[in-house]
Amino acid sequence: MLKYSIAALALAACPATVSAEGFPERPINLVVPFNAGGGTDLLLRAFAPHMAEALGGNAFVSNMAGGSGTIAAGALAGQKPDGYQLGYWSVTVATVQPQIKDVPYGVDSWTPICSVAASPTVLFTQADSPFQTIEDVVAAVKADPGKYIYGSSGPGAITHLTAVAAFSGLGVIDDMKHLPFQGSGPALQAMAAGTIQFFGDTELLMASGDFRPLVVFNSERLESMPDVPTATEVGISAPLNELYLWGGFFGPAGMDPEITATLSKACEAAMNSDGFQKFAADTSTVLDYRNAADFDAFFRAQYEANSTLIEAAGL
């Protein structure tokens, strides 16, 4: 009897001591915290086969939508840190939502693996708008407090934070109204109709409609719009002057450093693969690789910096 018990114990103990050697032994689950078909979902579905190839194993994508990504992050936090379940969290899932909602995860819940994408955000208005520059906007808002409305795809979303960074940084946010929508599509329709005047998102949006960019939240001007000033140039001071929609892979806290390194290297190889590079070029995704250590430092700095933004947004 005792013999059996010991054998059983030994068997049970086996999976707990995850060996870095031979990793991965089974398929890796890449969790998308949003619905199938969205931007993040597409990115991961294009990424998964190259990740699998780089690891010499298998990788599959699963969707766990809800609560602006917090349902998936809440489910993954506290799971066994064996490297077989990784979440792709964006700036909002990882650094904003845990500071505005009561969610079962925080800054210390993760082992950051690698960052994949980062696009600077841009504040837009409609192309036929009377505002040519951000200075025009500030003057108009001051002349007519309470008249102008900025939209967003939802409270706490990157679209919301972009507008907050702009108008709070310029000191006019209290003279404006915020109108959240359920997703970017309805918000952009409202801007075309004139219900809202301003909307912030990544430069990707420029291609899809008649918009006029007013200010970019990047350290320098963007190649695609050389005439548009940076936030610093128009007088928006740190930490509100730079804002990126970034995303990367996270595992639960406490992962084996060797497995983290293996995954991080595989992530880099997958990002450099021809197939994924072509996907990024086709979708104008700005790739931005950071290894595990750099990503960890970046993520923690962003968590801090965004608390200022959250306070300014009144969330």
DSSP state of 230: B
Asked if residue 287 binds other proteins (CB under 8 A), the reply is: no
- Which residues does 57 contact at the CB level (< 8 Å), separation at least 6? 24, 25, 26, 27, 28
Angle of helix 257-272 versus helix 292-313 axis, rounded to 10: 80
Phi/psi for 157 (5° steps) reads -75, 165
Asked whether the beta carbons of 240 and 169 are under 8 A apart, the reply is: yes
The dihedral through the CA atoms of 232, 310, 34, 109 has a sign that is: positive
Asked if residue 27 binds other proteins (CB under 8 A), the reply is: no
Q: How far is the CB of 123 from other proteins (least distance, A)?
A: 18
Q: How far is the CB of 278 from other proteins (least distance, A)?
A: 10
Decide whether 31 or 236 has the Cβ nearer to other proteins: 31
Asked whether the beta carbons of 179 and 190 are under 8 A apart, the reply is: yes
Asked whether the beta carbons of 86 and 29 are under 8 A apart, the reply is: yes
Asked whether the beta carbons of 161 and 309 are under 8 A apart, the reply is: yes
Decide whether 36 or 297 has the Cβ nearer to other proteins: 36
Among 78, 145, 171, 209, binds other proteins (CB under 8 A): 209
Asked if residue 312 binds other proteins (CB under 8 A), the reply is: no
The dihedral through the CA atoms of 100, 286, 257, 81 has a sign that is: positive
- Which residues does 95 contact at the CB level (< 8 Å), separation at least 6? 107, 299, 302, 303, 306
Residues 254-273 that bind other proteins (CB under 8 A): none
Stretch binding other proteins (CB under 8 A), from 81-89, 184-192, 228-236, 244-252: 184-192
Stretch binding other proteins (CB under 8 A), from 112-120, 190-198, 242-250, 299-307: 190-198
- Which residues does 184 contact at the CB level (< 8 Å), separation at least 6? 153, 159, 199, 201, 205
Residues 35-64 that bind other proteins (CB under 8 A): 35-39, 41-42, 45, 62-64
Decide whether 45 or 300 has the Cβ nearer to other proteins: 45
How many residues of this chain bind other proteins (CB under 8 A)?
51
Among 192, 222, 225, 269, binds other proteins (CB under 8 A): 192
CA-based angle 109:217:226, to the nearest 5? 145
Among 20, 253, 312, 315, binds other proteins (CB under 8 A): 315
Binding mask 64-93 for other proteins (x = CB under 8 A): xxxxx-xx--xx------------------
How far from each other are the two terminal CA atoms of the chain, in whole angstroms? 60
Decide whether 19 or 35 has the Cβ nearer to other proteins: 35
Q: Which of 31, 33, 10, 57 is closest to 259 using CA atoms?
A: 57
Decide whether 208 or 272 has the Cβ nearer to other proteins: 208
Stretch binding other proteins (CB under 8 A), from 20-28, 94-102, 164-172, 263-271: 94-102
Among 6, 8, 14, 101, binds other proteins (CB under 8 A): 101
Residues of the shown chain interacting with other proteins in the complex, contacts defined by CB under 8 A? 35-39, 41-42, 45, 62-68, 70-71, 74-75, 100-104, 146, 149, 154-156, 177-182, 185-186, 188-190, 192-193, 195, 207-210, 279, 282-283, 315
